[in-house]
Amino acid sequence: MKLIIAFIKPFNLEQVRDSLKSVGVSGMSVSDISGFGRQRGQTEVYRGAEYEVEFVPKVRLEVIVTDELAGPAVAAIESSAHSGEIGDGKIVVVAVEDVVRIRTGERGADAI
Amino acid sequence: MDSGDAAWVLTSAALVLFMTPGLALFYGGMDRTRNVLNMLMMNFWCLLIIPIVWAVVGFSLAQSGDGAFLGNLDLAFLRGLGITGEDGGSALLTVAFLGMFAVITPALISGAVADRMKFSAWAIFAPVWLLLVFVPVFKWVYGGWIGDRGALDFAGGTAIHVNAGIAALAAVLVLGKRKGWPSQGHPPHSMPLVMLGTGILWFGWFGFNAGSALAANGQAVQAFMNTFLAAAAAGLSWGFVEKFRDGHFTNLGVASGIVAGLVAITPGAGFVAGMSPIWIGLATGVICSFAVGLKNKAGYDDAMDVVGVHFVGGLVGSLAVGLFADPEFFGGEFLAGAFYGGGFKLLGEQFLGNGATIAYSFVVTTLIMLALKATIGVRVAEGVEDSGLDLAEHAETAYSSGSATLAGH
């Protein structure tokens, strides 16, 4: 089982969600975060004073998948979140020890 | 007062009251999420304490009797201000209407002292400042020595904006800069709130200016028109200054311009006409858009530019009256401005009246702040300044994270 964490540009979320669904990923969670890598932040101007805002809004998307689905899921995210511009984001694949479905108590792959 | 006049003044009074919450939102949106409630509370506190102080002694000292410098206590506790007498309550109406101005004047100062002033100190500052600074200056301008010399201030450019504006400077000089200022600043946390506040202020300002005619007459109409045009012109000019100087047309620039224009037309609202409000607005928008940069050069931390907008805007507008006042248009008997055949007499009186107000307000405000500093202290602890005043001073959070449980469960 794998936990796939993707840091993407917020406006790509719908595309990425649809792309993941089309490869068979059934659930996901998203959070609004800020971050930066090589993407420079933005400059905001208020009454003539310039403010450098380094942290750029991003979306953190997480899905838990079986090992077989990990490759297709990563490919789905990569293709739908890609624009070629700096700031497209990163995908991280983490090995998962266990998963529990809280409602039923199922564990392991059955819980995904 | 006939019923038409009374209806308009009653409405105006309500419009002016609305300006204080509008101001609170205007400043609050510029503030940070951890301090916005403190900013709102500083303004709402004025709405709570000033009406009481005004009714008990403030109005009487500000308007009763023929004193050149101060009123008397004949009308304290609203004594004699009834509704069954000859005037049918119009004197009482004046108390209410002017009381709204008394509320908002100290509230203006809150924008300068943001993010670091102890609320208990502010709570005492507001009513004390009202009695020691606002009330005497009000008397000087309206029925006292400044007004008697012929200086003009239709709705409170000198008595309110120059007064509170210079008081804000005095207050921040005693209070000190915010930690990390100016290298560590913060952008407005909610521009939508700022724009909402601006809209409320402009709306309410029709009552502030046109209501000051104390009648539903031609002067009120012209004051209304002036308020409409000056705000628009100043919003345009400040907006364009930022476009050319900084690269973008910003909401904050436009909002600031609108407020600056409204401040600037306040002293002349019932004395200028035609295209004058447009000139006054255009000039003020430009001047104030640069005036707000003064604090960085001079090193005083005026958090929300009360000095740059209210002091400078009020002063520009008040001196502009010395140029643009047009008694012939109004069929009135007041001094004419330099552009209308009056020479420099009026301009001279505007200088003098504002000069005296500036000197008095600056000195007395400084003394009030020093007294507070020496007794209960005026600044929050450094840790509070870091983590925010809303939680420390008011046990509240503006934007809840969502997980709170009722204690004892």
Q: What is the CATH classification number for the domain harbouring B106?
A: 1.10.3430.10
B285 in contact with chain A, both atoms CB, cutoff 8 A: no
3-class secondary structure, A50: strand
Determine how many CB atoms are found less than 10 A away from the CB of residue B97: 21
Please give the Cα distance from B196 to B198 (Å, whole number).
Answer: 5
Please give the Cα distance from B103 to B105 (Å, whole number).
Answer: 6
The 10s digit of each residue's pLDDT in B31-40 is 999 999 999 9
Question: Can you tell me the mean pLDDT for B99-114?
Answer: 98
3-class secondary structure, B179: coil
pTM of the model: 0.92
Verify whether the Cβ–Cβ distance A48 to B242 is below 8 Å.
yes
Residue B81 carries which side chain, given as an amino acid letter? L
Question: Can you tell me the mean pLDDT for B380-401?
Answer: 94
CA angle in degrees (0–180, nearest 5) for A33-A38-A41: 60
A46 in contact with chain B, both atoms CB, cutoff 8 A: yes
Compute φ and ψ for A90, nearest 5 degrees.
Answer: -140, 155
For the purposes of burial, counting CB atoms within 10 Å of the CB of A66, is it exposed (0-12), middle (13-18) or buried (19 or more)?
middle
Verify whether the Cβ–Cβ distance B187 to A47 is below 8 Å.
no
The residues near A105 (Cβ < 8 Å, ≥ 6 apart) are none
Question: Can you tell me the mean pLDDT for B383-399?
Answer: 96
**Helix B251-265 and helix B276-291: axis angle, to 10°?**
120
Q: How many CA atoms does the CB half-sphere of A102 hold within 13 Å?
A: 0
CB-nearest to B305 from A45, A47, A50 is A47
Verify whether the Cβ–Cβ distance A47 to B245 is below 8 Å.
no
Which residue has 């909610």 as its token pair?
B190
A49 in contact with chain B, both atoms CB, cutoff 8 A: yes
**Residue B155 contacts residue B142 (beta carbons within 8 Å):** no
Please check the confidence at residue B259 and state whether its pLDDT lies above 90: yes
Residue B17: the pLDDT is 98
Q: Is residue B234 part of a domain?
A: yes
Tokens of residue A59, six digits? 């979306």
Q: A29 has which bridge partners?
A: A62
Question: Can you tell me the mean pLDDT for B77-85?
Answer: 95
Q: Is residue B403 part of a domain?
A: no
**Residue B242 contacts residue B289 (beta carbons within 8 Å):** yes
Q: Is residue B292 part of a domain?
A: yes
Using a CB-CB cut-off of 8 Å, the residues of chain A touching B252 are 46-47
Question: Can you tell me the mean pLDDT for B385-405?
Answer: 90
The 10s digit of each residue's pLDDT in B184-202 is 889 999 999 999 999 999 9
Residue of B288, B228, B287, B291 lying closest to B262 (CA atoms): B228
**What's the ipTM?**
0.81
The CA distance from B112 to the nearest CA of chain A, in Å, is: 15
Q: In which band, very low, low, confident or very high, does the pLDDT at B332 lie, cut at 50, 70 and 90?
A: confident
CB-nearest to A47 from B247, B248, B292 is B292
Q: Is residue B397 part of a domain?
A: no
B180 in contact with chain A, both atoms CB, cutoff 8 A: no
Q: Is residue B250 part of a domain?
A: yes
Structural domains in chain B (count): 1
Closest residue in B to A47 (Cα–Cα): B253
The residues near B83 (Cβ < 8 Å, ≥ 6 apart) are B89, B92
Q: Is residue B197 part of a domain?
A: yes
**Residue B146 contacts residue B353 (beta carbons within 8 Å):** yes
Structural domain spans, chain A: 2-111
Closest residue in B to A44 (Cα–Cα): B187
Using a CB-CB cut-off of 8 Å, the residues of chain B touching A45 are 242, 246-248, 250
**Separation of first and last alpha carbons in chain B:** 60
Domain coverage including residue B315? 3-391
B292 in contact with chain A, both atoms CB, cutoff 8 A: yes
Regions of chain A with pLDDT less than 50: none
Closest residue in B to A48 (Cα–Cα): B246
% helix, strand, coil for chain B, step of 5: 70, 0, 30
Please give the Cα distance from A107 to A92 (Å, whole number).
Answer: 23
Verify whether the Cβ–Cβ distance A46 to B187 is below 8 Å.
yes
Please give the Cα distance from B285 to B291 (Å, whole number).
Answer: 10
Residue B393: the pLDDT is 97
Closest residue in A to B293 (Cα–Cα): A48
Residue B367: the pLDDT is 98
Using a CB-CB cut-off of 8 Å, the residues of chain A touching B296 are 49
Residue A24: the pLDDT is 95
Please give the Cα distance from B232 to B230 (Å, whole number).
Answer: 5
Using a CB-CB cut-off of 8 Å, the residues of chain B touching A53 are 187
The CA distance from B238 to the nearest CA of chain A, in Å, is: 10
Tokens of residue B86, six digits? 């000859």
Residue B373: the pLDDT is 98
Please check the confidence at residue B409 and state whether its pLDDT lies above 70: no
Q: Is residue B179 part of a domain?
A: yes
Residue A104: the pLDDT is 96
Please give the Cα distance from B54 to B337 (Å, whole number).
Answer: 34
**Residue B223 contacts residue B166 (beta carbons within 8 Å):** no
Residue B408: the pLDDT is 79
**Residue B118 contacts residue B302 (beta carbons within 8 Å):** no
**A2-111 in CATH: which number?**
3.30.70.120
Tokens of residue B67, six digits? 């004193």
B80 in contact with chain A, both atoms CB, cutoff 8 A: no
**Residue A81 contacts residue A5 (beta carbons within 8 Å):** no
Closest residue in B to A43 (Cα–Cα): B187
Using a CB-CB cut-off of 8 Å, the residues of chain B touching A46 are 187-188, 250, 252
3-class secondary structure, A45: strand
Residue B392: the pLDDT is 96
Please check the confidence at residue B406 and state whether its pLDDT lies above 90: no
- DSSP state string for B315-365: HHHHHHHHHH--HHHHT--SPPPGGGT-TTHHHHHHHHHHHHHHHHHHHHH
B85 in contact with chain A, both atoms CB, cutoff 8 A: no
